[in-house]
């Protein structure tokens, strides 16, 4: 059985084991106390996939959102979607977390933080973000160049190696696979 990931560990785990797409959504949620629909869906399903329980997910989103809105508004407009992601509302389907292909091919509009940063981020923004995380200029250039050549998942593999200070060369096709492989290394 899969380990349960407590939401108290997400700040730390997001820097150690999340792919960049999810780290970015986590950071944005902490900064803005809100994510637009596409971000809530992409990040919410990822969290379910890594082993965050429904109860914890509700608490996680609630604690952020009520910093900028009434509890009542959260319960009426947003709690439904959290339960929906867990198959507890609407058609009660067990929705799967999105694959890289789905995320890379998604539509990202202005103000959206979802998608794949290697595909959707402006090059300058991507570069600054990665340098801000403390990676060497050489490693950052490699990731940016791969992104420019549309080798998004290979850039992501470089990112995996960079955060683990290793040379794994993992073929990445799913954010949850990224997370699981990372957890194996860290154990
Ligand atoms: Fe996320 Fe996949 Fe893009 Fe990596 S390649 S950042 S896991 S969507």
**Ligand 1 neighbourhood includes 47 CB (under 6 angstroms):** no
**Ligand 1 neighbourhood includes 143 CB (under 6 angstroms):** no
**What is the number of other CB atoms lying within 10 angstroms of the CB of residue 9?**
12
Q: Enter the ipTM.
A: 0.99
**What is the number of other CB atoms lying within 10 angstroms of the CB of residue 86?**
19
pTM for the model stands at 0.96
Closest CA to 57 of 98, 88, 86, 94: 86
Pocket test for ligand 1, best of 18, 25, 117, 181 (most atoms within 8 A of CB): 117
**What is the number of other CB atoms lying within 10 angstroms of the CB of residue 74?**
19
Give 142-153 pLDDT, tens digit per residue: 999 999 999 999
- Tell me: pLDDT of 36 over 70: yes
**What is the number of other CB atoms lying within 10 angstroms of the CB of residue 87?**
14
Give 79-108 pLDDT, tens digit per residue: 999 999 999 888 778 889 999 999 999 999
How remote is the CA of residue 90 from the centroid of ligand 1, in Å? 28
In terms of phi and psi (left: phi > 0; alpha: psi -120 to 50; beta: otherwise), the region of 90 is left
Spatial contact of 2 and 78, defined as CB atoms under 8 Å apart: no
Residues 6+ positions from 83 with CB-CB distance below 8 Å:
54, 58, 89
Calculate the alpha carbon distances from 149 to 10, 99, 106 in Å: 32, 20, 18
**Ligand 1 neighbourhood includes 175 CB (under 6 angstroms):** yes
Question: What whole-number distance in Å separates Cα of residue 128 and Cα of residue 146?
Answer: 16
Question: What whole-number distance in Å separates Cα of residue 114 and Cα of residue 121?
Answer: 10
First to last CA, the chain: 16
Question: pLDDT category, 1, cuts 50, 70, 90?
Answer: low
């Amino acid at each position: 059985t899969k380990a349960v990931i407590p939401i108290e560990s997400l700040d730390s785990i997001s820097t150690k084991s999340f792919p960049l797409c999810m780290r970015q959504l986590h950071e944005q949620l902490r900064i803005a106390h809100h994510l637009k629909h596409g971000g809530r869906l992409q990040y919410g399903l990822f969290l379910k996939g890594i082993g965050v329980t429904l109860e914890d997910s509700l608490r996680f989103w609630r604690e952020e959102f009520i910093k900028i809105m009434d509890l009542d508004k959260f319960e009426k407009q947003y709690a439904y979607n959290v339960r929906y992601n867990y198959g507890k509302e609407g058609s009660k389907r067990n929705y799967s977390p999105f694959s890289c292909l789905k995320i890379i091919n998604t539509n990202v509009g202005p103000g959206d933080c979802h998608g794949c940063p290697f595909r959707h981020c402006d090059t300058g923004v991507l570069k600054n973000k990665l340098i801000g995380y403390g990676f060497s200029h050489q490693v950052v250039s490699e990731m940016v160049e791969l992104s420019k050549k549309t080798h998004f998942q290979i850039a992501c593999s470089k990112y995996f190696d960079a955060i683990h200070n290793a040379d794994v060369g993992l073929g990445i096709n799913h954010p949850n696979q990224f997370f699981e492989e990372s957890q194996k290394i860290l154990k």
